[in-house]
Amino acid sequence: MSSSTYSLDERHRQLGLTDEEYARILDRLGRAPNDVELAMLSLMWSEHCGYKHSRRLLRRLPKEGRHVLLGPGENAGAVDVGGGLAVAFKVESHNHPSAVEPFQGAATGVGGILRDVFAVGARPIAVLDSLRFGEPSVSERSRYLLDRAVAGIGHYGNSIGVPTVGGEIYFEPSYEQNCLVNAMCLGLAPHERLIRSAAAGPGNVVVLLGALTGRDGIGGASVLASAELGEGDEAKRPSVQIGDPFTEKKLLECCLELLDRDLLVSLQDLGAAGLTSAASEMAGGGGVGLTIDLCQIPLREADMEPFEIMVSESQERMLCVARPECVGALLDVCERWEVLATTIGCVTDGDSLQVLHRGNVVADVPVRVLIDDCPLYDLQPVPPSSDLYRASEAVLSGDESVADTLLALLRSSNLASRRPVFEQYDPIVQSRTVRRPDEADAAVLMLPNGSAIAVSIDGNGRRVACDPRRGAAEAVYECSANLACVGAEPLGLTNCLNFGNPEKSHVAWQLTEAVEGLAGACEALGVPVVGGNVSLYNEAPTGPIFPTPVVGMVGKLPNAARPGRMGFALTGDSIALVGPFEPSLVGSELAKLRGEAPVGELPAIDAGRIRIAHQAVRARVRSGAFRSAHDVAEGGVAATLAECCIAGGLGATVRLPEWLDPFGEAPGRGFIVSGPAEALAGFVVIGEVGGEALRVEGLLDLAVSELRDARDSGLAGWV
């Protein structure tokens, strides 16, 4: 297209809006938007901010529960954990920025989710990460993304003094072009400090806190996060934000002190779509208008255009509303923390977001047009007619011995020790951590009243690719199983739905089925969804990523002194298999290593029996009857036994039931536990702890040191 044929009417397409959406804007405004307004609307109506392809679907998820204090719609959800305390939490994606610039993409992913949590008044106390990359053994790009994303997460979390207590990583070829970086944060607050984002009180003052506003991250939500990546993405690098954990550390402490002194009416972080989104959300939530004067906003570059100021995604900024009489005290607190604080506007009794620049009104948009009028689309789900995903390269032929198969599994990228990764994170700062990575299936953090919370994050895309409904449900059950292993009862969950392009019918089908699976599992366990995030368009020219719903679940346990462990603890203890565990090789790690495509029917889910098994494990871990508990996940019972041996530094002698495939999988349904023989009465006892080798009768006999060496070698040198 030559420049002469470029007409003004096509501005909207460059900003990612369709012709129909632009017509809708003309209709709702009753006029053509100016450049500033169109920039604002294009962001608020982007998939990333407006959830236009997922909002209707998300209504299916159960959100009610007796522990819920804040539900979806706030910056983060929150549940009651007793003792007058609340735990706020949320998981969010930063996939597209991380694919373009992994260090800053991952770092600002952490920074962003931390702000979501302290925006509701909670002190961030833990971070977890869920990462997906291409196969590191064959992909230099994936090794680079892994190394830099891990460094970025550590850089931000370590520097700001929030422990990274857990996480998970999977490697699959489908993530080669679209890596996933999902970060989850938990925060702790007394109930009375929880604050909402809704602005209130016409005449109240709007104050911008934190960093200068610059040109970084312009269009991040629309350009990066709401379209497929393709050739020439280097040019999008300026859309990636740059993180400054020191500025955020001061901002965090400052905001919490402002809340403790009761100086704020409402608080909101600036994330995707920057000031536009923050101001719209605050006004929309409170049913009020806001007027913002751009000339008051401290800029990093003096010549920024009004639209750039409105959509900048510069990090480490918060927006708050305060009563006029509190502003003096507010500014004093900010000065003490060396946090820049500027009055930039006021709450009005109108219904529009009005933006001033040098005395002129440069935007004036009804808040409902920005938020409520965003079009919502029904998906057009159709099951794929042929297999979507190619088989991976075969590493095993199927002729190997059981011992060699187990060693190959332990060395494989998805089962190998994560130590090279988690050693780059500080898991103990703030002195609450009682179970660190590798000690138990879930991280455990103590609370001031002697109780504790536990948290786990899970999601196996390969299994969801086989069967989106059962695979997604398994993520919920596996989280709950992980919590059971430390003795914790689930209180609530957050999810991040990472999928391909929802405008394609087969992706729409994956998404619809997965949400149905999540909803069913949440209902069966009685665990509400308190918040989450959707990341779509994770698609390369070669096809979509594995459908990857990631579930983060928070639970509580009564006694911080008695959380469970995964490692075998005592020679002579009996070992039992607990749960309705009927595994198969469909979607398993062994199937992957044998070069099989992710197709087939996953084992059935008997929700009632799963729930009973989780309760049984939870109760016996709490009482100390089980001295170890570990859920059976990737690599089946054989890999699980090996992990229990490695973690405990003890061997085991086991005889497996005839019907059980040692490498079959059925996540969330089975546990390997150990304890005194009398504590295991009534369960399927399969052996005994002791010695220096794992012996599975008729199948294998391997020294624990050999198992450990295999598991340690997997990621060594790649990160």
Partner 1 sequence: MKFGVVRFPGSCDDIDALQAARRVGDAVLLWHTDHDLQGVDAVIVPGGFSYGDYLRAGAIARFAPVMAEVEEFARSGGLVLGICNGFQVLCEAGLLPGALLTNVSLKFVFRQVDVEVVRGLGPFTGACEAGERLSIPVKHTTGRFHAPDPELDRLEASGQVLLRYAPGHNPNGSLRDIAGVCNESGNVFGLMPHPEHAVDPLGGSVDGLKIFESMRADVEQHVLA
Specify the residue, 154 or 549, whose C-beta has the smaller distance to partner 1. Answer: 154
Burial of 11 (0-12, 13-18, 19+ CB in 10 A): middle
DSSP character string of 142-197: HHHHHHHHHHHHHHHHHHHT--EEEEEEEE-GGGSSS-EEEEEEEEEEEGGG----
Minimum distance of partner 1 from residue 268's CB (angstroms): 23
Q: Which two tokens stand for residue 150?
A: 């891990």
Minimum distance of partner 1 from residue 154's CB (angstroms): 5
Q: Which two tokens stand for residue 279?
A: 């101001």
Strands (E), 191-247: 205-210
651 with 691: CB under 8 angstroms? yes
476 with 525: CB under 8 angstroms? yes
Specify the residue, 254 or 369, whose C-beta has the smaller distance to partner 1. Answer: 254
636 with 588: CB under 8 angstroms? yes
β-sheet with 628-631: strand ranges across: 628-631, 671-675, 574-578, 684-689, 652-654, 693-696, 700-703
Minimum distance of partner 1 from residue 73's CB (angstroms): 32
CB-side exposure of 259: number of CA atoms within 13 Å? 25
> What's the rounded Cα separation, in Å, for the pair 130 and 115?
18
Specify the residue, 342 or 430, whose C-beta has the smaller distance to partner 1. Answer: 430
In the three-class reduction of DSSP (H, G, I as helix; E, B as strand; rest coil), residue 346 is classed as strand
Please give the residue ranges that form the binding site for partner 1 (CB under 8 A).
151, 154-155, 158-161, 244-247, 249-250, 337-338, 422-431, 433-434, 436, 446, 560-561
Minimum distance of partner 1 from residue 427's CB (angstroms): 6
Specify the residue, 156 or 546, whose C-beta has the smaller distance to partner 1. Answer: 156
Specify the residue, 83 or 608, whose C-beta has the smaller distance to partner 1. Answer: 83
Return the amino acid letter for 577: L
End-to-end CA distance of the chain: 45
Q: Write out the catalytic residue numbers.
A: 48, 94
In the three-class reduction of DSSP (H, G, I as helix; E, B as strand; rest coil), residue 72 is classed as strand
What is the DSSP secondary structure assignment for residue 510, as one 8-state letter?
A: H
Specify the residue, 124 or 134, whose C-beta has the smaller distance to partner 1. Answer: 124
Specify the residue, 125 or 353, whose C-beta has the smaller distance to partner 1. Answer: 125
Return the amino acid letter for 433: T
Give the gyration radius of the chain's Cα atoms. Answer: 26
Minimum distance of partner 1 from residue 434's CB (angstroms): 5
> What's the rounded Cα separation, in Å, for the pair 330 and 332?
5
26 with 9: CB under 8 angstroms? no
Minimum distance of partner 1 from residue 246's CB (angstroms): 3
Return the amino acid letter for 323: R
Minimum distance of partner 1 from residue 410's CB (angstroms): 22
